[in-house]
Structure 1
Amino acid sequence: MKDTRTRILMVDDDEDDFFLVNTLLQDVAGDQYDIEWASTYDKAIEAIEKKEHELYLVDYRLGRYTGLDILRHFQAIGNDAPVIMLTGKGDYAIDNEAMMAGASDYLVKGEITGPELERAVRYAIMESRHLRIIAESQRKYFGIFEKSHDLIFLADCNKNIIDANPIALKKMQYTREEFLRMNLKDLFMGELEATQFLLDICQDDAIAQKEYSFKNKSGQKLEMLINANKLDEQLGTFLCVAEDITEKKREEHEKRAQEKFVISGRIARVIAHEVRNPLTNILLAVGQIKQEENVEKEESDMYMDIIERNCTRINQLVTELLQSTRMMELHLQELHVNTLVKNALALAYDRLQLNNMQLNEFYTDENVTLQADEEKMNIALLNIFINAIEAMIPGEGILTVSTEAENGKAFIRIRDNGMGIPEDNKARLFDPFFTSKTKGTGLGLTSTQNIIINHKGTIHVESAPGEGTLFMIVLPLS
C-alpha cells in the first residue's frame, strides 16, 4: 500500500533537536507526517537535490554553514518546496534575513509547541500548493497572452489600457509605454463607433463577435472582429480580444469584385453584339446616301458628317467598354513601385500646377519591385490621379501619394481632400458607364479596376462626403 504521509526533511546537526521536533510532530499528527533527518550540510544538499520531500525544517546554524546557504541552494536548483527556519531565541535579525531569503516561516527552538509546529508545517505546505497552482495559472495565462495571434487588451474602469500583448503592440505600431497612456476609444477609427462600443460593453458586460474598425499609429485602417468581457465588477476591468480580419475582408472584397467583373464583361459583350450590327448598317447607309446625286451635296455632307461622327463615337464607346472589361495581354517587366507611381504622377503634374494644388509624396525606402505592364499601370494610376484632381477645389487641393510593402505585397495609397463620395455611389464606383460627372464615359475606373485585377491585385476605396477619398491599390511583389 502506498505511503500517503507527507515527507519532511529536518536539517540539523543536533540529534537531540531532531528527536524533540519529531516527537512533538508525531504527538500531534503522527499518521500524517514522515520526518527524516539530515545531520550535515552535505547530506542535506544531497537530499534536497532529489526533491523527494514536501517541506524542510532547517536549523540556522550548521557548523561552518548556515541555513541561508541551504536557502541559496534551493534557489540555485529551482526547488520551490517550503522551508521553515529554526532559530535560537533572540535571533530576530536572522529571522528577518531568512524570510527575505525565501523561508516560508521561522520557529524559535525551545519555544515550539506541538500544535504550533504542526500548524506551521500544515500552513506552509498549503501555501506552497496554492502558490504552485497560481504560478501554473499565470504561466498558462501569460502563454496565451504573449503568444496569441489575436490582439489582447486589458483596461481599467475608466477604459484606460493597462496591458496589451506583443501582437497588439506590433499591429497597432505603438510602444508599450505609448499604449499604457491610451484609452480604449483611441483604438477606433471613428469616434461614433468607439462611443457605441463603450456603451455596449458597459450595458451588457460583454461583446461577442462584433466587427469594428481600428486605426494604427500611422492611421491605417484595420478591420477587427472583437470579443470583450468585463472581468471584475468591482474593479471595473475589461478584457478585449480582437481578431485582425483586414486581409479576410480584402479577400472577400476581391472575390466580389471578380464576380462583378465577370457579370460586367457578360453585359458588355451583349451590348457590343446588339449595337454593332445596326451601327454597321448605319455606316453603310451613310456611304450610300453620300453617293446619291439628287441631294444637295453641301447639305447632304453636313448631315452625313454629323451622323458618321456620332456613329463613330458610339462605336468607340463600345470598343472602350470591351477593353475595360475583358482580360488583357500584359507585357510584364520588373519595376520598382516608386518608379511606377512617379512615372504616372508625372503625367498628371501639369494638371496639379494649373489648379494650384499641393502634392505630398511618401515613398518606401525598401527595394519593392513587382511585375507590371508599365503602360497599362500608367493608365490605371492616371485615371485615379485625374479623378482626385477633379474632385478637389483649385487652390485648396492636397493630393497625398504613398507607397509601402507589407506581408509580400506592395501598397499604393492615393488620398485627396476633395468632396468625397456618397455611400450609394461607392458601391457603383467601378460599374461600367457609371459617372457623376457631366462629361465622362464612366469607363475610367472600370478600366482601372480591370488593369489592377489583371495584375492579380486589388483596389479599395474609403470615402465619405466632405472628408476626401482614399484609393488603395494592393499588388503582389515580384
Structure 2
Amino acid sequence: MTEIAKTIGDHVELTQQMKQMLEDSLGEKLRAAALAAKLKLNPDIDQVTNEQLAALSRELDIDHITLWKRIGNDIVALKSSNAKEINMSSKTWDYWYTAFNQLFDSGAVTVPQGQKLPHYWSGPINYASSDPSVINKWGYYYDGTTNYLINPYVNAKSLLQFESGSGTEALVQRMLADNKNLLEITGFDPQFFGKAPIIKIKNGIPVNNLDVRAVIFGPYSYQDDSDDAQIQQAANTGRMITETATIKNTTVMKSFIPIQGAQPYVIGITFDHTSIQSTLNRQLLKHIGISLGLLLVTMVASYFIAGFMLRSLHLVMDQVNALAQGHFRTRLSIRTKDELGLLAAQVNAMADNLDAYWMQLHNAAEELQHTQQYLESFINHTSDAIHVVLLNGEMMRTNNAFEAMYGWNKEEVEGKRLELIFPGHEQEFEHIRSTILQGYPIADYETVRMTRDGRSLDISMTSSPIRDSQGEIIAIASISRNITVRKKTEEVLRKSEKLSVVGQLAAGVAHEIRNPLTTIKGFLQLQKSKGPLSSMYLDVMLSELDRINFIVSEFLVLAKPQASCYELVDLQTILRDIVLLLDSQAHMNNVELQLDLATECSPIHCEPNQLKQVFVNVLKNGLEAMPDGGSLRIQLEHTSQDGLTVRFIDQGCGIAEKDLVRLGEPFFTNKESGNGLGLMVSQKIIANHKGTLNIQSKLGQGTCVEIWLPVAAVQEASVHKG
C-alpha cells in the first residue's frame, strides 16, 4: 500500500506541475502585455485616460489594464479599463501589498508566493476584489521609468477548464472511480490546515481566497483529529506518514505524502482498510481452495504414493486448520522443493501475512485504548478546573478540580445550567462568548467567577470552541485556574511599593510647595507695607496657589488607595503632570528634565494612577543614578499604528551586564535603602495593560527604559488573542 500511495502521489504531483506550468505561461504573457503597454502609454499617470487603457486592452487581447500608484503608505488603483477597479486600495492585501512595495522599492520581489521575473511579479489565481464572482490571473510590472505600476490581467477560465477537464481535480475523480478501495485523495496546505479559515470581504462578499485554503484539491470527508499533527510531521520531516484509524464506522489507512517546491503541500490518500482486508480474505480462501484441491488430488493419488506423501498432506491440513482457528504463528517445516514443499511455503507465507495484519490491528486497538485512558487520567487529575458547556448553557462535562474549585459535584451539574457569572460581569461574559462563537479561542484571560456558595473567585481562563465533524461549533470547553492568592499578593506588593515611592517624594513635594509659598508671602508683606497691590500681582499669587493645589492633588493621588478604573487617557497629559511633580527634586539633584512629545498621539485605555506610579518609579531611579547631575530625556512617539513608546534616557552610572538579567526579581536592588520591589510591580502594571517594559544599559554610559503601550483600539481587540 505504501508503494501504491507513492505512485498516486507522483501522478498528482505531475498534474499539479502541469497546472503550474500553464499558470506560469499565462504570467509570461501578461508580462509581455505589460511591456507593450509601457511603450504605448505616457509615463505620467495623470496623462493616461481610462479610455486609452480600454482600447489598449482590446489591442493586446487581454481583459483589462489597471495602473497603480503609491500614495503615502498605500498603493491605490488610480486608472483602469475596469471602472470597478478605480480607487481600490491594496493596503489590506497581505503579501500582495508587500510584493507591490518591493516592486516600487527595488524591482525584485522576494515573497514566496507567485511568479517572479525581472521587474515583474504575478500572484496566484484568485477571486477578484472588484467582483468576487470572477477568478483572474494578474501581472504587475514596474521598472522605474513610469510613476505607476502596470497591472494587466485576464480571466483564469483556461486554467479552470484544465483543472476540471485534465487537472488535479479530474485526475482525483478518475482515480476514485477506478479504485473502490481508494476512498479519497486530498491536497493539504500545512501552512493553513488546522487553523481558522481566513475570510476576506471583497466588494461586500465574504471570500475564502484560493491561496489561503487548508484543502487545495480533492474531497476531505474522512476527517480525524490527528490529521493536523500527521500533516505537519510529513511537511516538516519530508517523509511519508502512514496511520490507521476508524472514521465513520470504517477502518481506513491514511498516507500523507509531502511535496516540496516553491509552495510545499501534502497529499493525503485514504484507503478502505476493510476492503483491503476483504481482498486478503478472498486470497486466503483462494489459497485454502487450492489446498483443498491439492488434497483431493493427493487423496486420489494416495493409492499410488507412499505413506510419506500422505503424512506431508496431513501436516499441511493441520496447518490450514490451525490458521482457520486463529493460530497464525505455527509454521510448516519445509524439507523438499517439490510441489508439497511449494505448497507448504505458500501456507507459511499466508500465515506470516495474517499474523502481521492481526498484530497491526491489535496494536492499533491497544494504542487507542491507552490514549483514551491517558486523556481521562489527565482530565481527572489536573489541578485546573475543566468544564464543557453546550451552546444552550447545559453543562456537558466536568472534572474533579471543577468540583473542588466551584463546589458542585458531577452528578449535580451535568445536564443542568449553572450560574457561574459573578454579578457585574455579565457583559464581559457575553463578549467572551461571542468571540468564541466566531471561532476565536480565549487564552489566559483573567476574570471573576462565582462559586456555589456565592463567593467571588479570581481565575485565569482559557476557552476554545468544540466543533462537530461538519466544522460547526457545538460546545465551549473552558480551563480555569484559581489565581485569587496571586492577585492578592500582587495588590499587596503594588501598594507597598506605592507607599515607598510616596515617602521618597515627600521631600521633593515639600520643596516644590515652599517656593510658591515664599512668593505669596513676599507679595503679602509688600501689600502690608505699601497698601493694595495691582491685579497683576494678584494674578501671580493665584497662579502660585494653583500650582500648590496641583502638586498636593497629584501627591494625594499617589498616596491614597485607588480603585482600578480603566479610562481613555492622553499619555502626554500624564507625562507632563509627572514632570511637573518631580521637577523640583530634579533641580535639587542638578538634573534637567527634557520632555520630547509627539505632536499627535492616540489615546490609550488605562488606569492613570497605576501608570503614574510606574513613571514616577522610573524617573526617580534615573534621578538617583545621576548623583553628579546631567540631563534626563523623556520621549513619547508612535512607533507603529497600534502602539505608543515612552523612553526614559538618563546619563547616569549605568547597570552592569550581570545585573541586567536580574532586574525585576523580588528584593534584588543595588540601592542601600531599596527593597527591589519597584521594578517588579512596574513590570506587572505594564503587563496588565498589555504592554512591555524593556531596559537597555551600559556601565558608565547611562540607561534607557523603554515602555510600549497599545492604543485603545488594540487593547479592545486583544481579548480575541487572550
Q: Structure 1-normalised TM-score?
A: 0.33
